[in-house]
Amino acid sequence: MELDQAQITIRERPWGDLLDLSLKVLARHVGALSVLLIAGALPFSIVNYLWLASDLRDTDWAVNPPWLYVGWLIVLIVWETPVVTAGVTLYLGQVLFRPQADYGQLVRDWIASLPQLLFYQVFLRGLMTAAWFIAFLPWVALYCWLTWLNEIILLDRNPFRAAYQPRGRSDGKPGQTTWSRSNAIHSRQVGIRFLQWILATALGAMLTLVIWAAIGQLRQLMFHTEILDRQMLVIWLPVAVWTVVGYFTVVRFLTYLDLRTRTEGWELELLLRAEGDRQARQLT
């Protein structure tokens, strides 16, 4: 692995270019990314259906749309997204510096990160999701504050708690924890990143509706089904949502790289670390 020979050129990019680059990354790795996304989303989709099936009553949905089912489905998917897309994030982190992923290492990294994923992205995110019904706007702002928490947990791999050296040691320094690293990352360029979050949410909603409507039109033309039926809600709506979630997982990953490049000079750090690795290999 050569840190100065990334598969994607590490440099600052406008957000529009990151959206376009995400499509190119998806096209190049569509097979692996699709398998990882399906493996993560399928168990949760089954659980969601079993949980929400009672909200799908056999009524005239053209007159009484099943908004309760759709609303709860979106809330659950928002909560589940970090866990579902963990494999996708780990894969992207690997292929950034390698021509092929090491799936054994991917599984080991996922297992090692699981405790923090469960605490931050299941327990803490679950509390925040529930709190949306109490105070919507403040918790949306806090959600934005945790945008790149998955990348920090899975790729940076900071400890959950800081480990202090014994007092009196000259090298005694507190380590940077996942939470402190998250605070440091998310406190940079807050206004721009919040605006990007709003735009991504609006764009994601429109893409979901376009994909879902396109599926409905194709089913109607090919099989003469109704535009809105049980299959459209149970199968094709989650498919449309998770497809868009997968795309924006790639966007979020690339945006994280861009933020580190803009605020930490990450491309220079990679060059120095790569040169240090080469010097160390020559000495040994």
Question: pLDDT of 39-73, one tens digit each?
Answer: 999 999 999 999 998 877 766 666 677 888 898 99
Mean model confidence pLDDT for the chain: 84
Q: Where are the domains of the chain?
A: 15-162+175-279
Residue 138 pLDDT grade (very low, low, confident, very high; cuts 50, 70, 90): low
Q: What pTM was computed for the model?
A: 0.87
Q: Please, is 4 exposed, middle or buried when counting C-beta atoms within 10 Å of its C-beta (0-12, 13-18, 19+)?
A: middle
List b or e across 164-202, with b for residues whose CB sees 16 or more CB atoms inside 10 angstroms. Answer: eeeeeeeeeeeeebbbebbeebbeeeeeebeebbeebee
Angle in degrees, CA 198, 202, 203, rounded to 5: 115
What distance in Å separates the CA atoms of residue 107 and residue 136, rounded to the nearest whole number?
36
CB contact at 8 A, 16 and 197:
no
CB 210 within 8 A of CB 243: no
The pLDDT score that the predictor gives to residue 63 is 64
Q: Per residue in 141-175, pLDDT tens? A: 666 667 899 999 999 888 988 764 444 443 334 56
Digit-coded pLDDT (tens) for 231-262? 999 999 999 999 999 999 999 999 999 888 88
The CA distance from 163 to 147, in Å, is 26
